[in-house]
Chains A and B, each alone.
Chain A
Amino acid sequence: MLDLKQLAYERKNRMAWLIVASLLKGVAMIGQALFFVWIADAVFLKDASFREVLPYFGGLLAAILIRAASGYAIGRTGVNLASEAKSTLRTKLTASFAGNPLQASVQGQSGEKVSLLLDAVDEVDAYFSKYIPQMVQSAIIPVLLLIVIFSQHWVTGLIILITAPFIPVFMALVGIKTKEKADAQMEKLGRFSGTFLDVLQGLTTLKLFGRAEQQKQVIKKSSLDFRDATMEVLKSAFLSSLMLEYISMLSMGIIALEIGLRLVVYDNLTFFTAFFVMILVPDFFNLLKDFGSAFHTGRGSAAAAKRLAAELEKERQPVAFGQAEMPEQPFAINVNALSFQYEDGFGLGPIEIAASPGSRLAIIGKSGSGKTTLLHAIAGLLPLQDGQILVNGIPRSEIAETSWFDHLSYISQNPYLFAGTIKENILIGTSQQTSEEELTEAARKAGILEMVYSLKQGFETPVGEAGRGLSGGEKQRIALARAFLKKPSLILFDEPTSGLDLYTEKVLQEAIEELGRDATIVTVAHRLHTVRNSDVILVLADGKAAAKGSHEELLETYSPYREMLAIQQGGVLQ
């Protein structure tokens, strides 16, 4: 469990400050009341002249100043405390997102995760900026006030001592109920953000299907549901402050009655004491009331903290990497009895592959047969369930992650373009310094240079979200340029030319050919002619290897391959 209290107590200096400032504030409050009463008493009953009470005004002003200043110091400390705590939490959270393996990263909704990072952490703010300072104040100042009240008029002190404990009891009673509701509430808020981002991104789709109106109703309904649920939580919070208010009113009423009785009937109490106590008692209860509302805010924070903890403590199964450097290139890649299983469903393997250095391997198979999954497993994006990947005989699990990825390029089936310029999107492919020539050369090989030059801003054109739109094939080619820039020794291509016309494809094919001179290439392809020259073609069916061999071998021995070729040549539209 994420312990917010711990997080606050760790910052000892700030806590010490809070305690000192609270003490000061308490003393100032007492001083202020004292001077008020002195002055009123002097002129009202003792017929003092204005000049006589003037020094008291000086004292009163000082008390007011100290009270305001220490209040400011407390608030400031709270704000700083919150700011630090939030930064710590956000850092932890991003580290946790970054540490996710691939298959976990696609679970859940991104909007919900963003909301976790923004809203949930912000929700925790109140715990540090409101609850903790209030808690410290409520632990110190009321005690000071009570001591003074006891010293002045012990009966009042006794009445307070008897009535005040009812407050925490009621608060706890209501609080328990609130907590559950607040938890549910937080979750709802997260869910709304999650859904909303999804809806936003799919808005075009929704509109094309004529569902925008209905979506509006969904938003309306979920907002109203949210309202009703929140009102439930708030109602109990309000109820608890009503109780608080009521108890303090009752208590003050009794005190006033008792004091009045002594003033009027027994005449054994001075106006000074009576007025002094009557000013201090509301202060005492106000502090408790403030604590009550801070307590509720703290409850909301606790619910958010729970959500954060759930994310931070998620178990994850990382891909195993070691410490060793990659061996000399080019690589022989051997895949031994590799298998992998998605949590609930598709299973891959066991798969055997032997690719000699600099060779070309192709993976084909029906849609959904596990080609991309296999590529992910080889690339080290998915944890193997079983089996091994050997690079020149060394298990990949012994190779350092950075060294492995330094030598690898992976062009995925649907590459993501980041919000940034075309140049930035290509340069992301390598961590090395790159010259202008290298960049243009990579773009040329990927067949996108001409298009880039036709743009007003050339390589500096912003693309991705909030950037210029691109055609499907253009996006694909920009992603391809990343591989041409890096010149890796192991390249994994997932349908690199699926959205391209034959002519562009041919140009690219030649460039890939060139790239393959010093590299081992694994290509997933549906267009069989693009992988005809591969050394080995692996046919996947339902996650298992159905056949393996060169184009000629497969033609001879594996009839489904022949059929696939025939269909392709006859045309799918036929």
Chain B
Amino acid sequence: MKELKQVMLLTVREKRDVSIAIFFGFLAGIAGVALMASSGYLISKAALTSQMTILIVMGACLKLFGLVSALSRYAERLFSHRATFTMLSNLRVSFFERLEPHAPQLFQKYRSGDLLARIVGDVESLQNFLLRVFYPPVVLGIVFLSTIFFASFFSFTIALVIAAGMMLTIVAVPAVFAWRQRKIDSATRASRAALSSEAAEFLFGFRDLKIYQQLDTKEQQLAAFSKDYAEQQRKVGLEENLSQSVNGFAALLVSFFVLGLGTYFVATDQLDGLYLAMLVMISLAVFENVPPMAVFPAYFEDNRKAAVRLEEIVAEERNKGKSLELSNGPLDFKLEGVSFAYPDEERPALQDVSLTFKAGTKTAIVGPSGSGKSTLLQVLLNIADVDSGDVAVGGIPLQKVRQESLWAAMNVVLQENHFFYGTIRSNLMIANEEATEEAMRNALNNVQLGHFALDMKVSEKGANLSGGEKQRLAIARALLRSKPIWLLDEPVSSVDSSTAHAIYQELFAQGKGDTFVIISHDLSGLEQMDQIVVMEQGRIIETGTYKEIMKRQGYFYGLKQIEKSIFA
């Protein structure tokens, strides 16, 4: 049960709606029983006497109980469902809250389809917690206890039989099936996630699959996953059906015994025959409420699994101790003997890196692919926590700085940027909520995307934009922010050189006096940078101004020679 603690807490938060629902649920159940009981009693009574009053009482009782039962049922449903959906909303939000700090590393652990299945599917399934898991036993318990109390006035033994039936149908049978459910290990959730992951990948990798003629294979794989999922669901469905049938049978059996005992007591004069029909009717009526308990085991197990799977993602806390705000002064970065290795990697991606990025300077980072340039950026962004060494921004240890306060001072263009399904406008507004129409148009013009309408549609992941257009749109976002620190990771690698040239000029003009850190493979034109950092295999092998490192005739010099031979 402890897995469900979180959901339980969220349910209790809706205590008003929940208690109203329980009240009406009880009323509806008990009125149904009263209705049947009174009709049973009155028929028997009517068979014996011929008083008109009986008839009148009968009519009035039936009407009253019927109306109360129907109306209470309506109210019960209304309130319980409202509580459920409010809870769903709370669940989503609270889960998102806890998920968010895990963002950059999330996709290294989980596939996006899997996450989708968990967050949409599992959260959704937890909405059943109140309606199917928490609520039925509570309401049923109260209805049963009242009924048993009432029946005990007529025959203690029959009340005992009903009590035994209650134990059987709302405790024993569900418990057995819950146990079975766990044993069969209904892997439904997992197979659903697998199907979801495969489907998402099928869609994301569509072009590559098409080119490599793997669509058929993947389609078959998808079919296999969907078959597996269907099979799992079928198993659950059959189990649920069995549980339903067994429970129904048990309920009927109780009426059978009530009748049997009642008959025996009447025959042996221990019970007035007048009450026999009533008691039988009571047992039939009270067990009519039991069916929800038949689906209880499936939902209970399902909820438990969903809760576990959700908890898995957000279990460990991230970014603890990052709480300091940035200082107001100029923000310079100082790295001292920094090393960093990605989790589960032997080889560090950064090794003994010592560097200074003075406020207001322009730095270019160059180096072969895989040398750790983007990783260095992650460190500056306070996303990667260094294993050893010190990083300070504006004199404050970076590891203690609240991430958001750092990012609020930055314009970042990553090597891969995400674009959301929507419009150019909505994608630009992400960078700056208050951006005016004019500012957005300006930013677009500055990256030579002036021909884009702000209302132009953007497909998911910017799929309807060309490679260079995506990069330029990302730069436009950065331009809209105009914060004092620019971190640019190969921002124009897919843009033709004349456009790229124009964009850089615009960037430097707008960011006059700002700090720039630019990763680039383009070696020409680096003369005007204040600092060039050359990286190789996670180490810094050369730093200095263009003149200084050319003079050294090292790695950079060698690259320049290659460049020369190419351009010649």
Contacts and interface: CB of A to CB of B under 8 A. Distances in A.
A569 B264 CA distance: 107
Interface string A224-246: 10110011001100110110011
Contact of B460 (A106, A215, A419): A106
A499 to B, nearest CB: 5
Contact of A271 (B43, B206, B369): B43
A428 B288 CA distance: 58
Nearest to B67: A249
Interface residues of A, number: 181
A456 interface: yes
A214 B97 CA distance: 11
Contacts of A238: 74, 77-78
A220 B92 CA distance: 7
Given A241-B77, A571-B524, A574-B501, 10 more contacts: A64-B252, A109-B421, A204-B104, A209-B481, A223-B92, A368-B466, A402-B213, A413-B494, A465-B111, A495-B494
Contact of A526 (B263, B495, B523): B495
A238 to B, nearest CB: 5
A227 to B, nearest CB: 3
Interface string B365-397: 011111001100000010000000000000000
B214 to A, nearest CB: 6
A423 B211 CA distance: 18
A79 B202 CA distance: 29
A570 B525 contact: yes
Contacts, number: 503
Task: Pick from B219, B230, B431 the residue with the most CB of A within 10 Å.
Answer: B230
A502 B561 CA distance: 10
Interface in A441-456: 451, 454, 456
Contacts of A193: 116, 120
A572 B525 contact: yes
10 contacts: A39-B259, A241-B74, A242-B73, A245-B69, A379-B211, A405-B212, A416-B204, A471-B373, A472-B369, A499-B490
Interface size class, chain B: 35 or more
B369 A500 contact: yes
A257 B62 CA distance: 9
A224 B216 CA distance: 41
A430 B245 CA distance: 53
Contacts of A516: none
Given A367-B495, A471-B370, A198 B63 contact: no
Contacts of A327: none
A409 B213 CA distance: 11
B323 interface: no
B479 interface: no
Interface in B38-73: 39-40, 42-44, 46-47, 49-52, 54-55, 58-59, 62-63, 66-67, 69-71, 73
B58 A257 contact: yes
A43 B369 contact: no
B92 A219 contact: yes
A203 B100 contact: yes
B476 interface: no
Nearest to B494: A498
Contacts of A57: 256, 260
B408 A465 contact: no
A314 to B, nearest CB: 15
Interface string A149-176: 0000000000000000000000000000
B186 to A, nearest CB: 14
A264 B54 contact: yes
Task: Pick from B82, B207, B240, B497 the residue with the most CB of A within 10 Å.
Answer: B497
A264 to B, nearest CB: 5
Interface stretch (A47-55, A386-394, A548-556): A47-55
A98 interface: yes
A68 interface: yes
B319 to A, nearest CB: 11
Task: Pick from B203, B260, B471 the residue with the most CB of A within 10 Å.
Answer: B203
Interface string B460-496: 1101101111011000010001000000001011111
A105 B460 contact: no
Given A264-B49, A275-B277, A529-B567, A94 B230 contact: no
B256 A61 contact: yes
Contact of B238 (A76, A252, A429, A482): A76
B248 to A, nearest CB: 6
Contacts of B461: 201
A67 interface: yes
A16 interface: no
Contact of B89 (A195, A220, A242, A418): A220
Interface in A260-280: 260-261, 263-265, 267, 271, 274-275, 278-279
A472 B374 contact: yes
A558 B504 CA distance: 25
Interface in B223-262: 223, 226-227, 230-231, 233-234, 237-238, 240-242, 244-246, 248-249, 252-253, 255-256, 259-260
Contacts of B44: 44, 271
B208 A428 contact: yes
B336 interface: no
A216 B266 contact: no
A206 B59 CA distance: 66
A48 to B, nearest CB: 7
Given A256-B39, A367-B466, A573 B259 contact: no
A102 B88 contact: no
Given A405-B213, A419-B197, A252 B62 contact: yes
B152 interface: no
B354 interface: no
Contact of B62 (A78, A219, A253, A563): A253
A223 B120 CA distance: 11
Nearest to A82: B237
B306 interface: no
Contacts of A409: 211
Task: Pick from A100, A193, A205, A430 the residue with the most CB of B within 10 Å.
Answer: A205
B352 interface: no
A44 B276 contact: yes
A572 B534 CA distance: 18
A435 interface: no
A405 B497 CA distance: 33
A574 B267 contact: no
A200 B460 contact: no
Contacts of B460: 106, 108-110, 198
Nearest to A247: B70
Contacts of A97: 202-203
Nearest to A499: B493
A219 B119 CA distance: 12
B459 interface: yes
B518 interface: yes
B500 interface: yes
A111 B43 CA distance: 60
B499 interface: yes
A49 to B, nearest CB: 5
Nearest to B51: A264
Nearest to A242: B74
B528 interface: yes
Contacts of A500: 369, 521
Interface stretch (B141-149, B156-164, B324-332, B411-419): B411-419
A376 B36 CA distance: 73
Given A114-B116, A260-B55, A567-B497, A242 B366 contact: no
Interface string B92-126: 11001100100110111111111111011100000
A504 B104 contact: no
B9 interface: no
Contacts of B226: 87, 90-91, 94, 117
Contacts of A105: 203, 206-207
A474 interface: yes
Contacts of B481: 209
A95 interface: yes
Across the A-B interface, the 9 shortest Cβ-Cβ residue pairs:
A571-B525, A473-B369, A367-B468, A571-B524, A249-B66, A223-B89, A227-B85, A106-B463, A202-B418
